[in-house]
């Protein structure tokens, strides 16, 4: 299904009424609005549903049905928007190195770059709770107060960020431009392979006007102006209520959701 992006519907979904000129200000504003209104979630993977990367299917799910998705869905949809606006984005894959070295992990993350007058910028709306909220200039010189930045490591570029007072490497890439078929293969692995983290864990993140809400299995973290609060989901009914309250959609199917990492929910 080769359906063009419906920009009017997308702009309504992300509450965007700003400029559509291909400038840094527009790119940064669109990224913030996209991440604020379209959450990160892997519920369809855990429900055993297929994840399709067709733009028409993604619009039906992330735009019209008010759902979220993971990196391949966010990246494909946002790239289609940027294409339509003249940003000429390139699609790339990366190796996530949060818990294992580069030599041990496959390319299972999707991000974009966009060339602008100020330089080339990395755009990564689908990296869950660690996604940068602004485009990252592709240069090996981080600002002192930056939350995310790019760094060189030989032939690789590394996205670095700060977490719990530490600097961590998030993902690494050679910045080779990938084909649509490359993402179809990686997406199939992530959505179906028994060893995939997305097949075994519940992973959710929603940005709010006051902060964010993130979920790892049963652990819920709420960050707002009053600080950070943590709690645990007692059951699937509580998960459904949390989705309605913070993620903007109701999904009755989660009442029978199986999450292998949550023994009590098997």
Instruction: Indicate if 148 belongs to the active site.
Output: no
Reading the block at residue 125, the tokens are: 């709306």
* CATH code assigned at 158: 3.30.2140.20
Instruction: Indicate if 37 belongs to the active site.
Output: no
* pLDDT at residue number 85: 97
Q: What is the pTM of this model?
A: 0.96
In a domain, 66, yes or no: yes
Same-domain pairing of 168 and 208: no
Instruction: Indicate if 71 belongs to the active site.
Output: yes
- CB half-sphere exposure, 44, CA atoms < 13 A: 17
Q: Which of these is catalytic: 37, 74, 92, 109?
A: 109
Would you say 222 and 210 are in contact if contact means Cβ atoms under 8 Å apart?
Answer: no
Q: How far is CA 91 from the centre of its chain?
A: 14
> Which residues form the domain of 175?
7-180
Q: How many domains does the chain have?
A: 2
Write out the chain's pLDDT in tens, 266 residues.
Answer: 567 899 999 999 999 999 999 999 999 999 999 999 999 999 999 999 989 999 999 999 999 999 999 999 999 999 999 999 999 999 999 999 998 999 899 999 999 999 999 999 999 999 998 999 999 999 987 766 789 999 999 999 999 998 888 899 999 999 999 999 999 999 999 999 999 999 999 999 999 988 999 999 999 999 999 999 999 999 999 999 999 999 999 999 999 999 999 988 77
* pLDDT at residue number 141: 79
Q: Which of these is catalytic: 71, 74, 92, 148?
A: 71
* pLDDT at residue number 2: 66
Q: Which of these is catalytic: 6, 37, 124, 148?
A: 124
């Amino acid at each position: 299904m080769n359906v063009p992006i419906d920009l009017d519907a997308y702009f309504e979904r992300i509450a965007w009424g700003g400029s559509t000129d291909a400038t840094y200000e527009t790119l940064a504003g669109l990224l913030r609005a996209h991440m604020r209104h379209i959450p990160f979630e892997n519920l369809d993977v855990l429900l055993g549903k297929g994840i399709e990367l067709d733009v028409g299917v993604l619009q039906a799910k992330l735009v019209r049905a008010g759902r979220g998705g993971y990196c391949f869905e966010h990246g494909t949809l946002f790239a289609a928007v940027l294409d339509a606006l003249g940003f000429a984005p390139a699609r790339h894959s990366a190796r996530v190195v949060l818990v294992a070295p580069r030599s041990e992990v496959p390319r299972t993350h999707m991000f974009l770059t966009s060339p602008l007058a100020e330089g080339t910028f990395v755009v990564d709306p689908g990296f869950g709770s660690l996604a940068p909220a602004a485009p990252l200039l592709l240069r090996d010189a981080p600002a002192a107060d930056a939350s995310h930045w790019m760094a060189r490591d030989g032939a690789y570029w590394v996205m670095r960020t700060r977490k719990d007072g530490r600097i961590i490497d998030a993902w690494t890439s050679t910045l080779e431009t990938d084909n649509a078929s490359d993402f179809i293969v990686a997406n199939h692995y992530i959505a179906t392979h028994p060893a995939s983290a997305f097949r075994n864990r519940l992973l959710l993140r929603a940005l709010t006007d006051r902060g964010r809400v993130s979920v790892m299995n049963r652990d819920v973290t709420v960050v707002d102006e009053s600080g950070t609060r943590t709690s645990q989901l007692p059951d699937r009914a509580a998960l459904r209520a949390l989705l309605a309250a913070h993620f903007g959609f109701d999904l009755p199917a989660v009442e029978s959701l199986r999450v292998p990492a949550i023994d009590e929910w098997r």
